Structure formats: structure tokens, C-alpha cells
Amino acid sequence: MAKLLKQPVKLALVQLACTADKTHNLAAARRQVLSAAREHGARIVVLPECFNSPYGTPYFPKYAETLLPSPPSEAASPTFHALSRIAAEAKVYLVGGSIPEFEPKSEKLFNTSLTFGPDGTLLATHRKVHLFDIDIPGKIRFKESEVLSPGDKVTMIDLPEYGKIAVAICYDVRFPELATIAARKGAFLLLYPGAFNMTTGTLHWELLARARAVDNQVYVGLCSPARDTGADYHAWGHSLIVDPNAAVLGQLDEKEGILTAELTGEKIEETRKGIPIYTQRRFDVYPDVSEEVKAEIGNPDPSLS
């Protein structure tokens, strides 16, 4: 089998303290990404979900930027241009967390992640596919779909010197299908900018990272904003990197910080050799039940039915 990860690579997750001031957030992101590259030697750097705004449905329209047609003007998307410049300055692959995006043609809002290469070119755009709609009485109610529309694709990105990675956003991590398709298409690393909360963070954050890793025998990184108890939404923090055997290589607490880990192809190969689920799958006994499920519960986005 061809090597999934061609050479070792240092990954950094930047757990940024995100404020209501976009200009401040972009300057802070630049400082931290440069530090991840220059002081920690990272070549892939990740920012958190909604890193340049507070997280919450009232904020999405207010902070949204227009990305299409691409490339957007500086006025339409200051964040697009800031991320492109930061990636080129730091000479890293930069998974730019996510930002609220406004698409003028459809007049829809999306939660969108932009990834740039070390020369500052845009490599991929991922719009959050699964919107965060939950209601746990007495704990948390959140309905992204009141304001946002979902994306519709698995996002794979080819990093020529290393191999393929996949990017998705926060609630997307709860859907094993997305991760497994990405892994089967050859991703060595699944990255999720995310902002879990104080209820589901304790319950599921680490569990989901480890689950996606053990399901697929690939590296997984979840990158959160730092917790701000003065904000409306209290992010869980605890950004973490998990290896293909589901061991946690490192995890931050709730404060601002940079987490790094060295990823190697040998670890993926050793894991898959020891527990060879990769070649033991029984596709002959896994029927595609998606049509039956859609017939029973409908499509989550009625516009897709």
C-alpha cells in the first residue's frame, strides 16, 4: 500500500483567545501561527472554529464575510487575505479555523473553513456539513440552522510533500461516515476546528476524537478557542491530538496555548499492521441503507430532497 504520510510532519493546534474584535483576533492569530511555525517547527497549523468572532447565532450575520467569487476583494473578506498572508509569512499549511460566510447569490450564511498553502494560495474551502442543532433541557439549546445553511461535501486537501488531510468543522466530528469516507480516500489526518461547550465537552469531546481515530486508524486533531467566561458561549477548550491507535498525544486545558505533535507514517502503518481492520472490512455484508433511512426520516436539509 502506498504510504499515506510520506514524511514526518509537525502539527500545531492554536487554541486562540477569540474576542469580539476581529482586527485583534487576526493579529493574535498571526502571532500564534508564526510562533507555532518558528518556535515549534510546525508545518501544518490549525485555528479554531469561528476564531475571528464570538460564537453564537446572533454573531454570524454580523461578522460574515463574502468569499465568492474567489478570490474575494480585501473589503469583502479581510480574513481571507489575512490568512493567506499569514500562511505565506509562516510558510505553513494553514487550516484557518472557520468564519461565518455570506453568499450573496443565495443570500445564505455558512460556517466555512479556508485552508491555505505555504505560498498563500487557497487550497480548499469546507462549509460545515452538519449544523449544530441540539436541545438538552436545562443545559444547552443551540440551533445553528436558524441562521446557517449546510455545506454538502467531504473536504480532502492534498499537501504534496506529506499526503492528504481532511477538514471538517466541530459537529461534523459526530458523523463517522464523513470521517470514514475521508480515511478511505487516503487521508492521514482528520482536522476539526471546533467549539464544544461545557455540557457536551466533558461528555464527548475526547471520546469523539479518539473514536474517529480508532475507527479509521489515522491521526485526528480537534482545535478549540480558549474559554472566555465573559462571552455568551463558554467553549470547552481542551484542543487535542490523537494518534492512529487512539492514544492522546497531547491535550490543552481551557486556556490559550499551542499544542504540537510529530506525526509519522510509520505509526499509521504499525497500527494497521497490528490490527488490520483496514483490510478486513466486509463490504459484502454492509448494504447501503442511506436510501431506506432517508425514506424513513427524510433528508435533514429539505432543499436536498
Going residue by residue from 68 to 107, which x/- string records binding to ligand AKG, judged by CB under 6 A?
----------------------------------------
What the block records as the C-alpha cell of 214 is 480508532
* Contact of 32 with 26, CB cutoff 8 Å: no
223 has catalytic annotation: no
Among 170, 206, 254, 267, which one carries the catalytic annotation? 170
Stretch that binds ligand AKG, among 22-30, 195-203, 255-263, 293-301 (CB under 6 A): 195-203
- Is 270 catalytic? The answer is no
Of 101, 128, 144, 267, the active-site residue reads: 128
CB 131, min distance to ligand AKG, A? 8
Q: How far is the CB of 30 from ligand AKG (least distance, A)?
A: 24
What's the min distance (Å) between Cβ of 121 and ligand AKG?
28
Listed in sequence order, the residues at least 6 apart from 117 whose beta carbon sits closer than 8 Å to its beta carbon are 87, 93, 123, 159
Measured CA to CA, the distance from residue 71 to residue 66 in angstroms comes to 10
**170 among known catalytic residues:** yes
71 cis-preceded (ω within 30 degrees of 0): yes
Nearer to ligand AKG, 162 or 236 (CB): 236
For residue 95, the SS3 value is: strand
Q: Does 174 bind ligand AKG (CB under 6 A)?
A: yes
**Cβ neighbour number for residue 286 with a 10 Å cutoff:** 8
Comparing CB distances to ligand AKG, the nearer of 49 and 101 is 49
Asked if residue 200 binds ligand AKG (CB under 6 A), the reply is yes
Place of cell 467553549: 235
**Residues in CB range of 138: below 8 A, 6 or more apart:** none
Question: Can you tell me which of 132, 162, 188, 219 binds ligand AKG, judged by CB under 6 A?
Answer: 132
Q: How many residues bind ligand AKG (CB under 6 A)?
A: 10
Q: Are 149 and 108 in contact (CB under 8 A)?
A: yes
Residue in 155, 13, 24 with CA at minimum distance from that of residue 79: 24
Residues making contact with ligand AKG (CB under 6 A): 49, 132, 170-171, 174, 195-197, 200, 204
Residues with a catalytic annotation lie at 49, 128, 170
